Amino acid sequence: MVNQVRKAFTLIEILIVVIILGILAAIVVPQFTSATEEAQISNMQSTLQTIRNQIELYRVRNNGQYPDFLVGLGGGWGDPNAALAAAQGLRGVDYLRSDPVNPRTAFLQAASNWGTLVIAGTVPSATDNAGFLWDAVLGEMYGARFDEDGIISGMQGTPQWLD
């Protein structure tokens, strides 16, 4: 009688391989979620730096005056097609090419309100929770769900804006 040799894996061997793959997946998956978070933070820092640089450039070109986000620009970034430079705001030819996107919250919103601008002194509402905040008192721009230093003084609605 000829001995038949089976060339297959046993159930124990397959279970050991599956367990090892599960352990490796448990180690690797958090690395990817951390990378996504770090990329969003880096993108937000870059976006805020760009906005702040453009605000400062606007201020230098306009005798120390900040863009009038509240009145002159109607609570927005400006109209690139406006005849007056003041009405163009930061959307003028020399500044921002498009409304800035808040990368920390763009994925949270079904509607396209992630570029909205809220003026300091108003508490952000549920529809404003994905934009930016201009603090006219401090002359500073902040982003929703992004806290650079843990405490932002003079800003109302802080718990709604920060993670």
pLDDT tens sequence across 100-112: 877 776 654 444 4
Q: By three-state DSSP, how is residue 79 classified?
A: coil
pTM of the prediction?
0.65
Looking at 7-16, 24-33, 34-43, 143-152, which range is the least confident one?
A: 143-152
